[in-house]
């Protein structure tokens, strides 16, 4: 379930990464934030989104109050709130954040949409949108991602997205996704309690046969053979 609360950040650099989207809305003072290689000043009225899985650093040099929303990835997808650009909200609309703090779970999405509609959007560059997308994908490799959906989220055609993706990562989108899924599968295979079918599903492969085919193409052996050669992590 979403969590909404007011927090005060300390006057020292902290680093964090979490498996949910986090939105910060400045109420008082300033929080210096860096996420995805981009800096932001979370000052009164400033709305900043930190994608799930993105490592970020923050520092608050003085007294501050920040409205923080911890939002599950699936909840954001269902509510149409998965890819929100930074924006500035009018003070009169935001107040002290009571409209969000007091919202019931079934009211929160509607109130967020209403508040967002009053803000001034600063559109992120295609490269920045791509940098936001990748951690979100890595955080949920079990999801049946489609490349055309990635392109749509970055506001690009599929061909333009593929070119920019290759320029940024050095590989095609599908190859990158397969490599990340196989990397995660190797981590999970060190746990003998998990079956290969469970690992395949957790990493986004259709079934164990699909997983075995992709694994053999990259490692020149079957998942079972690879697993037998590894020390157990349990």
CATH fold of 3-121, please? Answer: Jelly Rolls (2.60.120)
Output the CA–CA distances (angstroms, integers) from residue 125 to 74, 110, 156, 224, in the order listed: 25, 27, 11, 43
- The sheet with strand 56-59 has its strands ordered as 14-16, 56-59, 31-35, 38-42
Output the CA–CA distances (angstroms, integers) from residue 231 to 6, 28, 149, 171, 192, in the order listed: 45, 51, 38, 31, 10
Per-residue confidence (pLDDT) for residue 233, from 0 to 100: 58
| 32, 41 contact by CB (below 8 A) | yes
* Residue 55 predicted with pLDDT over 80: yes
Output the CA–CA distances (angstroms, integers) from residue 201 to 55, 196, 224, in the order listed: 26, 9, 16
Number of neighbours of residue 96 by Cβ within 10 angstroms: 12
154/80: higher pLDDT: 80
The pair of three-digit structure tokens given for residue 140, joined into one six-digit string: 């949920």
Residues 125-135: pLDDT tens digits? 666 677 778 88
pLDDT band at 123 (very low <50, low <70, confident <90, very high): very low
| 129, 155 contact by CB (below 8 A) | yes
In the predicted model, what is the mean pLDDT of residues 104-128? Answer: 74
Output the CA–CA distances (angstroms, integers) from residue 92 to 67, 69, 187, in the order listed: 15, 20, 49
| Cα distance between the two ends of the chain | 31
| 145, 102 contact by CB (below 8 A) | no
Q: What pTM was estimated for this model as a whole?
A: 0.51
- Which CATH superfamily includes the segment(s) 140-228? Homeodomain-like (1.10.10.60)
What CA–CA distance (Å, rounded) separates 195 from 202? 11
Phi and psi torsions of 15, nearest 5°: -125, 140
Residues 3-29: pLDDT tens digits? 999 999 988 888 999 999 999 999 999
Helices in 36-154 by DSSP H: which ranges?
73-79, 91-94, 98-101, 105-116, 126-138, 147-153
Per-residue confidence (pLDDT) for residue 176, from 0 to 100: 96
| 46, 26 contact by CB (below 8 A) | yes
Domain extent listing, the chain: 3-121, 140-228
Q: What is the mean pLDDT of the chain?
A: 87
């Amino acid at each position: 379930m979403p969590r909404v609360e007011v927090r005060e950040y300390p006057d020292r650099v902290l680093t964090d990464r979490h498996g949910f989207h986090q939105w910060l809305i400045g109420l008082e003072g300033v929080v210096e934030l860096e996420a995805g290689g981009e800096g932001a000043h979370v000052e009164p009225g400033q709305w900043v989104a930190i994608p799930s899985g993105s490592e970020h650093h923050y520092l608050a040099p003085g007294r501050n109050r920040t409205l923080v929303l911890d939002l599950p990835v699936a909840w954001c997808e269902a509510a149409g709130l998965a890819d929100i650009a930074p924006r500035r909200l009018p003070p009169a609309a935001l107040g002290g954040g009571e409209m969000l703090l007091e919202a019931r779970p079934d009211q929160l999405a509607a109130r967020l949409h209403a508040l967002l509609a009053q803000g001034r959007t600063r559109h992120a560059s295609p490269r920045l949108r791509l940098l936001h997308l990748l951690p979100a994908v890595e955080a949920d490799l079990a999801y049946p991602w489609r490349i055309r959906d990635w392109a749509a989220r970055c506001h690009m055609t599929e061909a333009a997205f593929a070119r920019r993706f290759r320029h940024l990562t050095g590989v095609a989108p599908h190859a990158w996704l397969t490599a990340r899924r196989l990397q995660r599968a190797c981590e999970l295979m060190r746990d003998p309690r998990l079956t290969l079918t469970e690992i395949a599903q957790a990493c986004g492969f259709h079934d164990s046969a699909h997983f075995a085919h992709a694994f053999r193409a990259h490692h020149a052996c079957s998942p079972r053979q690879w697993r037998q050669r590894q020390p157990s992590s349990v």
